[in-house]
Amino acid sequence: MRVNFLMHRTSMNKRFPEYKGLDLAKVNKDILKLWDENDAFRKSVRDLDGKGEFVFYEGPPSANGIPGIHHVMARTIKDAICRYKTQCGYEVKRKAGWDTHGLPIELGVEKALGITKEDIGTKISIIDFNKACKKDVMKYTDQWEDLTRMMGYWVNMDHPYITYDNRYIETLWWLLKQLHSKGVLYKDYTIQPYSPAAGSGLSSHELNLPGCYRDVKDTTCVALFKVVRDARSEFLFRHTDTNDVHIMAWTTTPWTLPSNTALAVGKEIHYLKVRSFNPYSGEPITAVIAKDLLHSMFPEANVGLHFSEYKPGDKKIPYKVLEEFPGINLEGISYEQLIDWVRPDQGAFKVLTGDFVTTEDGTGIVHIAPTFGADDYKIAKQFGVPPMTLKRKDGSVGPMVDKKGFMVPITDLDDQFVKERVNIQTYTPYAGRPVKNEYDSSIAPDADTLDVDIAVMLKQSGKVFRIEKQVHSYPHCWRTDRPVLYYPLDAWFIRTTAFRERMIELNNTINWKPQSTGTGRFGKWLENLVDWNLSRSRFWGTPLPIWVTEDRKEEKCIGSASELKEEIEKSIKVGFMKKNPLEKFIPGDNSQENYEKFDLHRPFVDEIILVSQSGRKMFREPDLIDVWFDSGAMPYAQAHYPFENRENFAGMFPADFIAEGVDQTRGWFFTLHAIAVMISDSVAFRNIISNGLVLDRNGNKMSKRLGNAVDPFSTIEEHGSDPVRWYMLTNSQPWDNLKFDAAGIDEVKRKFFGTLYNTYSFFALYANIDNFRFAERDILVNMRPEIDRWIISLLNSLVKEVGECYENYDLTRAGRAIQDFVTENLSNWYVRLNRKRYWGGEYDQDKIAAYQTLFQCLETVSRLAAPIAPFYMDQLFLDLNATTGRHTDESVHLAVFPEYDPDLIDKDLEERMDIAQKISSMILGLRRKVSIKVRQPLAKIMIPLPDKNFRTKFEAVKDLVMAEVNVKEVEYIDDTSSILVKKIKPNFKTLGPRYGKLMKDLGNAIQVLTQAEITSFETSGKHLLMLNGQHVELTREDVEIISEDIPGWQVANDGRLTVALDVTVTDELKYEGIAREFVNRIQNIRKESGYDVTDKIRVQIENHKFVREAVKRHAGYIGSQTLATEVTLSDNPGTGSREVEIDEVLVKVHVGRVS
RNA sequence: AGUCCCGUAGCUCAGUUGGUUAGAGCGCUACACUGAUAAUGUAGAGGUCCCCGGUUCAACUCCGGGCGGGACUACCA
């Protein structure tokens, strides 16, 4: 069983803890307990050596949803960076926060209560509804806190910022007042997505819920708008024989045609005047269409048809292009109203020019219905063209379609208006009809739509050129399943466009990871910025703090609770209000109690009536603000700025670092940036990592519906959070999508943590046996053996690299570098080659150096990897230090990040070891080829010298290689030796630029050089060639010459290295081999017999002729390796002996413990 | 529809200013090794570097155009 490490730290039992196995889930729990006991997180939030603060902003999650595995991803990134900065000595405060307002919460409550929006205020009071929201929003707080704790995300949850808190709202109001006083907060009438079936506007978020955009088949038509002949349009009537000229415009929503008040063309687009026939009536027509789209209406195949042969009803219709002109010529031309149901205000029916017009589809001319399209509304406003509006009986003025999605019934209209403007005869058949059949459940699904009837009506009056059904994607209300309508509504906006340039400028100073999200997705978004629609017609959210008089002439924006209190007092004085809801509020007292004496939410604020400058009543604008404003304002609001933290705000803003999913680009990232630029003319964050999605292992999006979502709790419970974190960060760069596969976690666990654990276990096992406590003075690195200096050099290189990666917010490379060092260099090479230094032998300087070196590597790795794997690394760090007292910190997270010593980095040494590894690997490969076991010693290897310095380099690592491959000697072969077969390769890098097109032939010519030519090239350093009549002079740099083969030997190549192996096994070598076989067999017997590693034994070997000589000669060696006090030959090894097989010979061996 | 990201071995990913044998790990097969042993080594099989064009002596790499996957944004008629 493992030693209870909590115990041993407090006891005097100074041993390195040894474990029976690696259970990272248990480590997770143990370390959590330890952190709690030591109050580790709180202690880690400190400023070391005046390093100052590293400001991190936590994006507030909404606690009304269950946390998913993707949250582990984002939080691992945040945590790793914050832990790293903490280790560097910075104070990293990390205030947690909760996003508590907004639509998802309201919808969740509606669902739970079984109500719809319309029921709020009737079936349930707003008070009760908001109460339910407030309660619901923290529904899963426990789960969030659990996950945060389990995964080891250090964030201060003691005093989180909560967006529904009155103090938080007060800051939001203050911010809004700043914007209001800058004149960038305004109300406007705009076209917004609206669900007639649900009776409410929809946010863009709702419109982007999965499945909202659906392909639907709608009737589309190309309408013919008759041009009014006047001076401006006269040019259209030239060179044609028809009395009328028509402009063609395509629409997918014919029901908007009665609301048409303008047409739009592109200034730069070229248009044609075409003479042809109306396909339905056969009447001759002259029509205007964009040049690029001519053939979509008039097939090219018909160009040769003769007008004289055309008969009405013919499928193929002749046409003739009469004239070409740019769109600008059409600007200002008037046309006759297409459908005369209602007459709009003066100034309608003009051709306008707009940038948004393209020639991708339709006719290159856009029908404009300002009441039903965003672009339409904008361009009409710009050119002063009136929208089609109707006056209702109640005096209100609105579009031709009512809020239920029906053409306004005549009975609903103002009588006077009907008399003056409405053509009762033509409008009556259509009045009161739904614009989409889905809005009227009494209509059969296959009944003709209003679109169809309008199209048919136009056809009968010769005003349409083409009618066809077309499939296009159209948004649907996710709640009612009915199509969305674009409808004009009132809304408050922030004029973000006024700050566009500055936002772009400041964005360029932000360090984005990955960069492309900053310049691409975010940058493009800023360039195409539109004003921020702040209004939400909902209930649970931050109310807009604006009061206006009924005639909207006077407006007041409230910026604080105390201001509100004062204004209410004034209102009470004039008798508009009886009581002040903020009566008990004490301005200046920032305590929670003081701010809980009132409520800034609806409906309480709605009941507040203020008094205007001129003494009239002012009512609050009923809207709430977009929740994204809540979260984007968190740098200010979490500090209750400027009511608190006024002086030290500079130390809290902007953030040095934030991290969230890339889906927040247009969300939190934008709102943070926008508000900071508008309020403080500053960035909100300096460095940012935006991570990609966490998909399932097949690359599909995780969803509860599909059941492929990974539960973070059980995942961490099963594996522990370290390997999950490690896997997530090292598998791929966080901004690439992660295909989450639990098999990957297992691999990380085995490969990295398993290896590291094994390495530690190995160390602990022998250190405990030898009683190594790092009590000795550090042995100077240059006094340690080559291999120790090598791993220390690599370790210092690693510290440098990992530090640079962390500094650069590149966690993936940092983790990969650490993993590579541990598995490849430390475990697989250093420990493997050094095992013999640890077991047996004297406790001498060499052994101490070995312990010190390995200790140093492990301890440094624990500090390097702690940001990513906080649990296991803390255990490792504590296990190492509790025993030795090298570091006295209570946790690795309180220890400083390692520094590297450039003097200890020896690139030559690293290169030498690389050579050693390669040569060893080649020799082992050769042994395998000729089937000679590594246990069988061999006499020698030969190495051709690839360059002058090679011999010196290899000599330094020779012993390591010889031991590793079990060979006794090395012989170097001089470069010019004739026994070598050489290979020559062209160096394209130097030759390419010089010889260009000749390169291909030259390459071939070089590769066919003979051995003699190569030798002469090598000695003279020059070679001349004739190629395609051109002289080519080659120098040594132009080619690479390697020794490829030594005829008659076993030879292997790797790049420039070549090695040959002498595979002759002499009798003497054979005896040695047999001796080694015995060592192996005896060790196995020891193990099987359950002896302790330190037990001494006695060995008797059967006096078999096959092994007799070997045992005689090497008894001492066998004994030393197996801790045998004596190794003897015996004719009868006695009872308890075992038979072992050596080279297919069976030999009896008796092993007995010395008691 | 637009913008951005991704596309390299069965899987997950590297691939450095373009340079000729495109790598690693996992998985698979075979053989070794063994007092770190739920490890390790060696070898084998496995690639049209998504496709097509262009630039170049030379393209996985640079450019253009497609295709496929994903995200975000979106009433362009």
Of A704, A907, A989, A997, catalytic = A704
**Known catalytic residue: A622?**
no
Residue nearest to nucleotide B24 (CA to C1'): A820
The dihedrals phi and psi of A691, each to the nearest 5 degrees, come to: -90, 160
pLDDT for the residue A274: 92
Question: B36 C1' – A1103 CA distance, angstroms?
Answer: 34
Question: B52 C1' – A700 CA distance, angstroms?
Answer: 29
Question: B21 C1' – A974 CA distance, angstroms?
Answer: 27
pLDDT for the residue A432: 87
**Known catalytic residue: A436?**
no
Band (A6; pLDDT cuts 50, 70, 90) = very low
Whether the pLDDT of residue A621 is over 80: the answer is: yes
Contacts of A883-891 with CB under 8 Å at 24 or more apart are A883/A14, A883/A15, A883/A16, A883/A773, A883/A774, A884/A773, A884/A774, A884/A775, A884/A855, A885/A774, A886/A774, A886/A855, A886/A859, A887/A859, A890/A38, A890/A40, A890/A43, A891/A34, A891/A35, A891/A38, A891/A40, A891/A43, A891/A44
Residue nearest to nucleotide B12 (CA to C1'): A731
Of A724-728, A897-901, A950-954, where does mean pLDDT reach its minimum? A950-954
pLDDT for the residue A703: 67
Question: B53 C1' – A997 CA distance, angstroms?
Answer: 22
Of A154, A341, A628, A726, catalytic = A628
Nearest Cα neighbor of A401 from A342, A478, A354 is: A342
H-run or E-run covering A878:
helix A870-884
Whether the pLDDT of residue A896 is over 80: the answer is: yes
**Known catalytic residue: A35?**
no
Amino acid in the structure at residue A232? R
Tens digit of each residue's pLDDT (9 = 90 or more) over A654-695: 999 999 887 777 788 888 999 999 999 999 999 998 888 787
> Left if phi > 0, otherwise alpha if psi is -120 to 50, otherwise beta: which for A1147?
beta
Q: Whole-prediction pTM value?
A: 0.82
Band (A970; pLDDT cuts 50, 70, 90) = confident
Considering all nucleic acid strands, name the nucleotide whose C1' atom is nearest to the C-alpha of residue A992.
B57
**Known catalytic residue: A99?**
yes
CB–CB of A67/A712 below 8 Å?
Answer: yes
**E-state strands within A662-779:** 685-691, 694-695, 738-739
Band (A7; pLDDT cuts 50, 70, 90) = very low
* Three-class HEC string of A915-955: HHHHHHHHHHHHHHHHCCCCCCCEEEEEEECCCCCHHHHHH
pLDDT for the residue A1127: 84
Predicted complex ipTM: 0.83
Tens digit of each residue's pLDDT (9 = 90 or more) over A172-198: 999 999 999 998 888 877 787 888 777
Whether the pLDDT of residue A211 is over 70: the answer is: no
pLDDT for the residue A520: 73
Nucleotides of B under 7 A from a protein CB: 3-6, 11-14, 17, 19-21, 25-26, 31-43, 56-58, 69-77
pLDDT for the residue A867: 95
Question: B65 C1' – A525 CA distance, angstroms?
Answer: 26
Question: B40 C1' – A858 CA distance, angstroms?
Answer: 20
Mean pLDDT of the region A154-176: 94
* Cβ count near A148 (within 10 Å): 20
Of A305-319, A775-789, A1077-1091, where does mean pLDDT reach its minimum? A1077-1091
Of A146-150, A742-746, A1021-1025, where does mean pLDDT reach its minimum? A1021-1025
**Known catalytic residue: A193?**
no
**Known catalytic residue: A668?**
yes
pLDDT for the residue A918: 79
CA pair distance A494, A972, nearest whole angstrom:
80
pLDDT for the residue A3: 36
Mean pLDDT of the region A48-62: 90
Nearest Cα neighbor of A911 from A783, A1078, A797 is: A797
pLDDT for the residue A471: 66
Band (A8; pLDDT cuts 50, 70, 90) = very low
Of A123, A553, A573, A701, catalytic = A701
Considering all nucleic acid strands, name the nucleotide whose C1' atom is nearest to the C-alpha of residue A997.
B57
Whether the pLDDT of residue A1075 is over 50: the answer is: yes
**Known catalytic residue: A515?**
no
Tens digit of each residue's pLDDT (9 = 90 or more) over A478-524: 667 778 888 888 888 888 888 888 998 898 889 888 877 777 778 87
Of A418-427, A608-617, A827-836, where does mean pLDDT reach its minimum? A827-836
Whether the pLDDT of residue A975 is over 70: the answer is: no
Band (A706; pLDDT cuts 50, 70, 90) = low
Tens digit of each residue's pLDDT (9 = 90 or more) over A997-1011: 777 777 777 777 777
